[in-house]
Amino acid sequence: MPKTNTSKAKADLKETKNLTTTSVGNGGELHQIAGKNHPELTTNQGVVIADDQNSLKTSVKGPTLLEDFILREKITHFDHERIPERIVHARGTGAHGYFELTHSLEKYTTAKVLTEVGQKTPLFTRISTVAGGSGSVDTPRDVRGFAVKLYTSEGNWDLVGNNIPVFFIQDAIKFPDLVHAVKMEPDRGFPQAATAHDTFWDFISLTPEAMNMVMWIMSDRTLPRSLRMIEGFGVHTFRLINKKGEATFVKFHWRPKAGLQSTIWDETVKIAGADPDFHRRDFFEAITAGDFPEWELAVQLFTQEEADQFPFDHLDATKLIPEELVPLTVIGRMVLDRWPDNFFAETEQVAFCPSHLVPGIDFSNDPLLQGRLFSYLDTQLSRLGSPNFHQLPVNAPKCPFANHQRDGHMQMARPTGRVAYEPNTLAKDAPREQPATGFHSMAEPVAGDKGRIRPESFADHYSQARQFFASQNETEQAHIVAALVFELSKVEHPHIRLAMVGHMRHIDEKLAQRLAHGLGIKELPAAPATMVTVQDLPVSPALRLIDKMKDTLAGRVVGVLIAEGSDAKTLEKVKAAVASAGAKCKIIAPRINGIHLSDGTEAKVDGQLAGSPSVIFDAIVLVLTDESAKKLEGDMAACDFVRDAFSHLKAIAYDAGGEVLLNAAGINKDDAVISTGKLKDFVAAAKTRLWTREKFVRPPL
């Protein structure tokens, strides 16, 4: 593994900083590639920008300053680029529900939502993709936004995060650049909802702080089987404030009751074509059937003294705190039990802002979070067209609220009286500030020289990326390699591919070699210079996905292929076995009507074969007569129904006629291809995927 002389790197950095204020965290990489003929980067007023990498802070680890006109101009313009669709997270699915506290955090906070055990707080949750527009498909390789609006008795609390605990960038000033890079390329208008293109990987190759996130997005975490089967993270560090004014740092985690589950890339691509609304449909059907999605809320609590001992900076959003270092404490549960009455009025008009907190919860100085506090409110003003967006029913608090804000576009309230200011003596019932019970920010001393710089503790860009890859099992590592090869093979410029392989050398030398082999690169490029030595952090099993898949079929769907004359008794046994495992069957046939079973009854068919491929099911069953199976031998939809299920490592049950179709499709039986005479074994196999099959159907790179 290439190592870099730390003292020399810092000396080089010092020399670079004589020319520019670029931070330790960015390492001067941009200046190493910059040519002399580039035009000056300026504000819209023509002011030359000295540092486009870091927002202005009170001190090296202090909060971001409102006076940073460069940050405000850049993000304001970005927030207003499109109307009315969200710029990111446009493709979303939402539902109503409640949060029930099961463990009080009264020792750490005064927030009632986190102290009153048994209290059920109404909420609205929206889960979304990031890169695609509102009309894109549900299943691209993408991060999923995970936003929860809790209507607490003390006001709304918006916990706005993702299904991944880290992020691409360390400072909010880079967010417009990140999104511009990942979105469809402006000169051609494609690709939609995809990262496999030059502008994204060009930006990433010049942004080493993103390497930890790259490992996450190239993993199966970004290919969820269902929105019911993803985690949610608050991403940033927040503070809890208790009655004494004492602060404790906190990270928030949502953990799905159904466990984690992903799809396989080939399967994902085919799902997108078979059902662009796959996740939304799954969510809708689960809720309307009473199979309510549920998550545990867990927290990681730690003090400043403990944070000082971490081998990373907890204020760096590109880092996570391993569960082995700070264990999770489960404090409650979220249940989503009601679909919106109107998709536009609720799911599309819901407005989340990280700045929406309640007394007892406060922000940290995470520079990405600090920028989001401004950006989200500004975005809502553009997208919803009014400072009164909080009056929309889905956004309005369910506790009393009152102030002296008046008028504005789309004002829906009818304030009365002559007073619209505070303090006053003319209205005895006018709202007044409440020093005793109102929101108080953490009284944190701030000292230092303000400037555009990141702390040296943000400079390690590779250690957690190395930890993540090393923590994956062999199958998960193979999927990451395959994902990187696929993505980078779509990149047109060779120097971008070479740069990414170089970055991979800091993460894992064999990973870089496998990637180079998959891309046809004969000689490994040099690894880029680093500001600090890459650490070998302990392996964290909690970072795996396959290990978090629950051994259950509950909430899943089994596709049962039938045809004319299929055995009625076998079909009923299959339905009973699947139902007893908490799953449901969908009956698939060559046509939607007119299929008669062996007892003469007409079967209720849920889907026509050509339009219901096996990719949309978790396992399949073949209940066929010999005659009907022979007719299906020449039907590619039938053969693909079987082949895809086998290729995607799913369990397959078959009767005598089903075996005819298996043979026609060229399927060699293994431990997850089971006779309908052994339905208990089939149900057990269907609870997971047969990972040992993958090396035969999809040899690793």
pLDDT tens digits for range 77-119? 788 776 578 889 999 999 999 999 999 999 999 999 999 999 9
Last residue of a domain, one of 376, 391, 406: 391
Q: Are residues 560 and 601 in the same domain?
A: yes
Q: Is residue 446 part of a domain?
A: no
> What number of CA atoms fall less than 13 Å from residue 22's CA on the CB side?
21
- Which of helix, strand or coil describes residue 299? strand
289 shares a domain with 169? yes
Amino acid at 283: F
Q: The domain that contains 468 carries what CATH number?
A: 1.20.1370.20
Per-residue model confidence (pLDDT) at position 103: 98
Asked if 503 and 603 sit in the same domain, the reply is no
Last residue of a domain, one of 547, 573, 602: 547
How many C-beta atoms lie closer than 10 Å to residue 661's C-beta? 26
Same domain? 471 vs 588: no
What sections of 520-655 are H helices per DSSP?
568-580, 626-632, 636-647
Q: Please tell me whether residues 522 and 575 are part of one structural domain.
A: no
Could you tell me if residue 505 is inside a domain?
yes
Phi (first) and psi of residue 249, to 5 degrees:
-75, 150
251 and 323 both lie in a single domain: yes
Say if residues 254 and 231 touch (Cβ distance below 8 Å): yes
Question: Is 275 part of any domain?
Answer: yes
pLDDT 10s digits, 637-680? 999 999 999 999 999 999 999 999 999 999 999 999 999 999 99
Q: What is the pLDDT of residue 508?
A: 98
Domain at 369, CATH number: 2.40.180.10
The predicted structure's pLDDT at residue 11:
41
Residue carrying the six token digits 């970072």: 543
Last residue of a domain, one of 547, 576, 596: 547
One-letter identity of residue 617: F
Average pLDDT, the chain: 92
Same domain, 599 and 491: no
Amino acid at 198: D
Which residue stretches of 218-274 are H helix?
Answer: 265-274
- The percentage of residues in the chain with a pLDDT greater than 90, rounded to a whole number, is 81
Query: What is the count of structural domains for the chain?
Result: 3
Residues 485 and 557 in one domain: no
**What is the C-alpha separation between 59 and 372, in angstroms, rounded?**
19
Per-residue DSSP letter, 634: T
CA distance 246 to 318: 27
- Is the residue at 61 inside a domain? no
Whether residue 343 contacts residue 96, with contact meaning beta carbons closer than 8 Å, is answered with no
* Average pLDDT value for residue range 609-621: 97
Residue 29 resides in a domain: no
Q: How far apart are CA 584 and CA 582, in angstroms?
A: 7
Q: Which residue, 166, 178, 238, 217, is CA-closest to 53? A: 178
Tell whether the model's pLDDT for residue 16 goes beyond 50. no
Instruction: Decide: 616 and 559 in contact? Cβ < 8 Å.
Output: yes
Backbone angles phi, psi at 564, to 5 degrees: -55, 125
Domain range spanning residue 673? Answer: 553-697
**CA–CA distance, 511 with 520 (Å, rounded to integer):** 14
134 part of a folded domain: yes
Cα 606 from Cα 562, distance rounded (Å): 11
Same domain, 474 and 557: no
Residue 251 belongs to what H/E stretch? strand 247-256
- Note whether 559 and 671 are same-domain residues: yes
- Asked if the model's pLDDT at residue 530 lies above 60, the reply is yes
Asked if the structure places residue 685 within a domain, the reply is yes
Instruction: Look at residue 506 and tell me if it is in a domain.
Output: yes
Pair (541, 588) in one structural domain: no
Kindly report whether the peptide bond that precedes residue 423 is cis, defined as omega within 30 degrees of 0: yes
Q: In this predicted model, what pLDDT tens digit does every residue of 297-351 receive, in sequence order?
A: 999 999 999 999 999 999 999 999 999 999 999 999 999 999 999 999 999 999 9
Residues 210, 177 contacting (CB under 8 angstroms)? no
Residues assigned a catalytic role? 89, 162
Q: Which amino acid is at 125?
A: T
**Domain shared by 346 and 228, yes or no:** yes
Residue 637 sits in a domain of what CATH number? 3.40.50.880
